[in-house]
Structures are given as structure tokens and as C-alpha cells.
């Protein structure tokens, strides 16, 4: 199992996951040259990429999709609502597929689980084979019971820690945008992400704190908040390898 967060934040998102010899991306929100350069650094060539899973249709998750599809033979999967909402989809290669709830991809079981976000049909994804499980849950304003169940048992978890509410409220964003981010269909705050970890019966071996706002959060604050809440609730954070994913650099876990 290998995971590489190629970029994470409002400027573009993409995560590489390899399990049981299956090479995948979740989202294609960064440039194809950067994707290819990053993958080359970890020994992955374009012909090895077999699938791209889209969480939703917002620009920071799909803007590199067309060039990526033309540079590889990867098939793209997403929810029907997201597929319908994709801009200029008629210009994309004819390799667009639908995932409803679960599907098989070689030896893997892929599950799409609904999230609360202001998009057509947003989802997170879990990938499992045997006892191994990787999960990505970002762009969600609230941890529902179904999301909490979906992340349970993950060995690797990419979890949103978008903002600190105090920084957001004091910041320069217009009030309607602040309301959107703070709402149940906006983005997840640091402390809410921490509580999701507290409520897990089995916490992951590896956690990427992801989709940080450059204006309304700081990497050290996201980590400190998560570790503080875990400690206050008697949860052991020392057994978890925590990385704050970056917007402009790759973070790898093998």
C-alpha cells in the first residue's frame, strides 16, 4: 500500500493510491505535468495508472482532468450527479464511468460514500483489499454518521482540516463566503476532524490532514488542534503518523 498526496488545498487536489498493484488517483485538480513529475518521482509511469475517481465537480478537483485523460488510458469514475455536472464533458475521451455505491477494481473493493458539500453529488472514497483499507474524506462541512462509519477501520486516512473557525471569522473573506465555509455543506474545521478521530474505535496508522485553507488555517495549528483534542479525550495520537498535506509539494506514505 502506498499513498501520495500530490497537492491539497483550494488551488488543486489530487491523491495517488496504490493497493494490490492497482494504481489510482482520487481527483485531478492539479496540472498534468505536475502529476506526471510527482508520479515519476515515486516510480509510477502513465501506463500504470488505471483509474481516476472524482469526489465532485468543483474546479480544484477536476481542472486537470482533460489533459490527464489524454496523457493516460485511465478510466474515470464518479457519481451520476457529478458526471452530469462536469463541464465540457463532451470534450473528454470516452472513458467516463459511474460508481453508485461500491464496485470492484481488480482485487479491490471501492466504496463511494456521500458527504455533505455544496456540489451535485459529492462523495468520499474507501479502497479495501483483505484487511487493508485506505479512505479519503475531504470537502465536507459535517461528519455524518455514515461518514464516520465509512472512515472506521482505515489504515490510511486523508481527512479534511480546512480551517480554524476563529481565524476564518476574523479574516478578510466576505461574510457570505464565511457562512458557506462554516455551514454543514462547507468545509471541515480542525476540531471537527479531531473529534472524528476520537470517535473511531480503531484509529489509522497514517493520517494526512488535508485541504487546509491558506488564509484561515496554519499547518502547525491544524496539527496542534488535532493532537490536543485527542489528548484531552484520552486518545493516543502517538500511535498515529500524522502529516499535514501541502498545497505545492508531494507527501508520501509507503
For the chain, 254 residues long, the average pLDDT of each consecutive 10-residue run is 96 97 98 97 96 98 97 97 95 96 97 97 97 97 97 98 97 96 96 97 96 97 96 83 95 92
In this prediction, residue 236 carries a pLDDT of 72
- Report pTM: 0.96
The arrangement of strands across the sheet holding 49-53 comes to 96-98, 75-78, 49-53, 22-26, 14-19, 2-7, 251-253
Distance CA 242, CA 101 (A): 29
Cβ neighbours of 203 (radius 10 Å): 20
Cβ neighbours of 14 (radius 10 Å): 26
Name the packing angle between helices 190-198 and 219-232 (round to 10°): 40
Distance CA 211, CA 191 (A): 14
CB 48 within 8 A of CB 17: no
Cross-strand partners of 135: 126, 157
- What is the length of the chain? 254
Distance CA 163, CA 50 (A): 33
CB 24 within 8 A of CB 127: yes
Phi, psi of 131 (to 5 degrees): -95, -5
Does the domain at 2-253 match CATH 3.40.50.1220? Answer given as no
Distance CA 113, CA 212 (A): 22
In this prediction, residue 254 carries a pLDDT of 82
In this prediction, residue 239 carries a pLDDT of 79
Nearest by Cα to 115 from 58, 190, 32: 58
75-78 vs 2-7, strand pairing mode: unpaired
Amino acid at each position: 500500500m502506498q499513498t501520495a498526496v500530490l497537492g491539497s488545498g483550494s488551488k488543486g487536489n489530487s491523491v495517488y493510491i496504490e493497493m494490490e498493484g492497482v494504481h489510482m488517483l482520487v481527483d485531478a485538480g492539479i496540472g498534468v505535468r505536475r502529476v506526471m513529475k510527482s508520479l515519476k518521482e515515486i516510480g509510477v509511469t502513465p501506463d500504470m495508472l488505471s483509474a481516476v475517481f472524482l469526489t465532485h465537480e468543483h474546479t480544484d478537483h477536476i481542472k486537470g482532468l482533460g489533459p490527464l485523460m489524454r496523457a493516460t488510458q485511465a478510466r474515470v469514475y464518479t457519481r451520476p450527479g457529478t458526471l452530469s455536472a462536469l463541464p465540457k464533458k463532451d470534450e473528454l475521451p470516452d472513458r467516463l464511468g459511474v460508481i453508485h455505491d461500491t464496485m470492484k477494481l481488480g482485487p479491490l473493493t471501492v466504496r463511494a460514500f456521500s458527504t455533505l458539500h455544496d456540489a451535485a453529488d459529492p462523495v468520499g472514497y474507501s479502497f479495501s483489499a483483505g484487511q487493508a483499507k485506505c479512505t479519503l474524506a475531504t470537502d465536507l462541512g459535517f461528519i455524518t454518521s455514515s461518514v464516520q462509519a465509512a472512515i472506521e477501520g482505515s489504515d490510511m486516512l486523508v481527512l479534511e482540516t480546512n480551517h480554524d473557525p476563529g481565524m476564518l471569522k476574523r479574516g478578510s473573506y466576505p461574510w457570505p463566503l464565511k457562512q458557506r465555509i462554516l455551514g454543514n455543506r462547507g468545509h471541515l474545521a480542525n476540531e471537527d476532524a479531531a473529534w472524528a478521530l476520537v470517535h473511531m474505535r480503531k484509529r489509522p496508522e497514517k493520517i494526512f490532514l488535508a485541504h487546509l485553507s491558506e488564509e484561515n488555517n496554519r499547518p502547525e495549528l491544524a496539527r496542534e488542534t488535532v493532537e490536543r483534542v485527542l489528548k484531552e479525550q484520552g486518545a493516543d495520537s502517538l500511535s498515529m503518523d500524522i502529516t499535514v498535506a501541502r498545497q505545492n509539494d508531494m507527501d508520501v506514505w509507503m
